[in-house]
Structure formats: structure tokens, C-alpha cells
Amino acid sequence: MTDGSEGGPVKNMIARFAIPAIVAVGTTVTTVVALGQMPASTLTAENAAVEAVASIEFTSFSEGDVTRTIEEACTMTGCDDASLHPMIKTYASQMDVEQLDAARWAQVRLLTHGMQTMKSATPGSEAAAKAQMELTAAARIAHYYTKQMQAKR
């Protein structure tokens, strides 16, 4: 009888980090769609998740940098956790600190991209509106993941 710990270090790494990151991206897209804020011409959640994960750029940020990025995004958009989909909250409650941190990194990547887009977009343009929606969803999820991490430490 096995205890489920078999599979080697690569499989365990994928299970601990890549899967939560993929779920985080998917839940961001799902949240935006559920709020009815995504134009009909955008990618499906499945395609967006695959493309987003495939293009992740890993950079080095300190915990303080990550927290400041999330706080800046929350200042721009508001971080109303009550509006998050229950699926996001349920899944986050089942993650350990390492999984939450990995999932939060995916949101931070979306935040930094969204903030750059917001700053460079013409106010009132479609690009600015789309960036605002993406930024709002990512900020709320990242903020929620941060609170969950703090509660579990």
C-alpha cells in the first residue's frame, strides 16, 4: 500500500507549484468572466490559462516587493474579498503556505502587467478598461491569498 508520496521530485514539484499557479490563473479568468466584465471576443478560460502559464517570466522579488505590489494594486482597484467567487476561497483554504505563495506569484505577475498597461493606456480606451478588470480580479485574489498565508503562518 502506498502513502501517495511516490512519483519523484519533479512530479512533486509540479503538484506543489505548477498546479496551484495554473489554478490561480484559471480562477482569475473565471472571476472576471463570472463578474460579466470580460468582452465576448476574449480567449476561453482554458486557452487563457495555458497561454498565461506558458509565458510566465520568473523574476526575483522580495516579500516586501510583493506585498507593496499587491497594496498598490489594491489602492488602485479596491480589494473587496467578499466579491470573490466561493471556489477561489474554498481552494485557497485547502492550500498550504507554499501553494498559496506559488498561486500568489501568478497573481502578482498579472498585477505588474496590468499596472503597466493601465499606466500606458489612454484613459477611457478599451485597453484601459480591460487592464482595469484584470487588475481588479488579480489584486483581489492576490490580497486574499496573502491574508490566507498570514493566517496559516
Task: Indicate the pTM of the whole model.
Answer: 0.56
Q: What's the CA gap between 69 and 126, in Å, rounded?
A: 24
Q: Is 1 helix (H, G, I), strand (E, B) or coil?
A: coil
Whether the Cβ atoms of residue 103 and residue 20 lie closer than 8 Å to each other: yes
Distance CA 152, CA 95 (A): 10
Cell 501568478 belongs to 106
Alpha-helix runs per DSSP H in 35-96: 45-54, 63-77, 86-94
67-117 pLDDT, tens per residue? 777 877 777 777 888 888 999 999 999 999 999 999 998 998 888 888 888
Write down the residue that cell numbers 502513502 correspond to. Answer: 3
